[in-house]
Structure 1
């Protein structure tokens, strides 16, 4: 019975770690390249992005995610590229992902564009079972830590956009990979995710813009996840908004354009499920920095 109990606990940790399968964000709309490689280079300049998210504060072993990314167009070509490093810590697991993205863009009339993207990733997984409460220290599962388990993957995406609108579809990890299999009867597989996204900017007044956006994540064997957000931009400086994750959480968003190059944003989520009884919400902060050339500028009307 003790052995079955330990296996059950490990299964729950696995569900927490990989049941949501990919890291969860609230402010996904500011760095779509995380899930869609076709986005890289679309801003027309070098963009550096950093995010830190602590989820379900107060719940032991809850996810903590950090992401640093850079993307830019290749001057004189239709290509763009990007690189990113992601750290995702959940319970006794610690996963690091390094990704490289490449995009190719077709240009159409009315300044609309369609980009195709490819993503290559390498994941390193570490699991330290000694951090668990051991009810029977002699069990084999407790002794078999996982150290730097490497798994490669590939992804692809499409991204259509103009100055006020975007649509995207992507599968950032196409290959179904096995994360681990310690006892030959307990394993967790990384399944592919299909992401659909869209957004549009409306000029309500001279100084006020409104942007609704959504992203849907479809995973085999898991419920459909749908995030809907609305944001308002005042005087191209201050942004405030709200988001709703279907049957999961509601969020408040805020951001400020500190300078022509630097933007900072914050998001707070509160659960709408029974999980809210065991945590005090989730916090997310990010920085976005644009490196501009002498003749380039940030296209603020895009707002994405």
Structure 2
């Protein structure tokens, strides 16, 4: 137990060393491509039927104090004319060693039709919610048993926040831009204090996401779906995901992704010899029927972390609640 607590503290110190922005990166699921609501509130209602998604991620298996994340979301359309209003609700819990974040967000999307056939839309979305940031002092090892800077149990606080996004889609193309944790730059740091000691590093920082992808028919039973995501927090290295999937007979998705850091513009506060955080993923999604989707992803670090953990496992389940207007004539690939 003593060794585990030492590693917990080491992990936190390493995170603070490589992310100089005094805040941590947002959670990123490998299977976000099958649940756009996790990165853009404007996605709410895209499937035009109520859709329930649950996901669990165990990162760096075998590494003490490694991140574990679970989430549940539901989104769909209201009774507004022409399906112009989408709503979504998302709950997530993220645990990393002694720190934890529990969040609940509601999303509203206004969906503007761009053609008479209702196959292209420009969506504007906003999300509001709260996050409970907590740190558990019992998971840390310390030298001075009377050190008042260490919480004797779990210290926590609720913080409001918001997100905004734009999302465009057609039958075979999509693109979106979103900003998450809008209030992160303006939140009073005293919210993260314990007996006069500041723990502001446990909060998430503001993030900008850009996503895009397309569907390319290869045959009557085979389609290719390449996609891209760029994640920027303006403090640490820029993260880029390159993804490619094959859809087989409208039943099985098989594919993978490669994640790395790139230098898009100069960030003078970053170390010159900072190593890229590279990871590769393989994924499979199976549609048991028209309503039920089951997915699994396995991530493997391809940098110096590779030999110290057993990869990351991610499981997701999606369930569609078809309305009376449900039709397979206009499938939702994104």
- State if a TM-score over 0.5 links the two structures: yes
Matched residue, 1:180: 192
Return the match for 1:139 from 126, 130, 147: 147
Q: Deviations over 1:144-195 (max 9, x none)?
A: 5553301000110000001111000000211123472456566425321000
Matched residue, 2:127: 119
Distance 1:136 1:271, change over 3 A: same
Does 2:62 align with 1:62? no
Q: Deviations over 1:191-249 (max 9, x none)?
A: 21000000101111000011001111100210000011100010001110010001420
> Are the equivalent residues in 1 in contact too, given 2:149–2:197 (CA < 8 A)?
no
Matched residue, 2:332: 302
Matches of 2:294 and 2:242 in 1, distance apart? 21
Q: How many residues align?
A: 299
C-alpha RMSD of matched pairs (Å): 2.3
Matches of 1:116 and 1:254 in 2, distance apart? 30
Matches of 2:329 and 2:137 in 1, distance apart? 49
Matched residue, 1:48: 52
Does 2:110 align with 1:104? yes
Distance 1:206 1:87, change over 3 A: same
**Bigger CA drift: 44-53 or 172-181?**
172-181
Matched residue, 1:24: 28
Does 2:103 align with 1:91? no
Segments of 5+ residues of structure 1 without an aligned counterpart are: none
Q: Secondary structure at the match of 1:194?
A: strand
**Bigger CA drift: 281-290 or 173-182?**
173-182
Distance 1:235 1:300, change over 3 A: farther
Q: Secondary structure at the match of 1:28?
A: helix
Matches of 1:191 and 1:79 in 2, distance apart? 29
Matched residue, 1:260: 290
Matches of 2:315 and 2:209 in 1, distance apart? 23
When you count strand as a share of all residues, which structure comes out higher? 1
Q: Secondary structure at the match of 1:38?
A: helix
Following superposition, the deviation at residue 37 of structure 1 comes to 0.4
The runs of at least 4 consecutive aligned structure 1 residues that moved more than 6 Å come to none
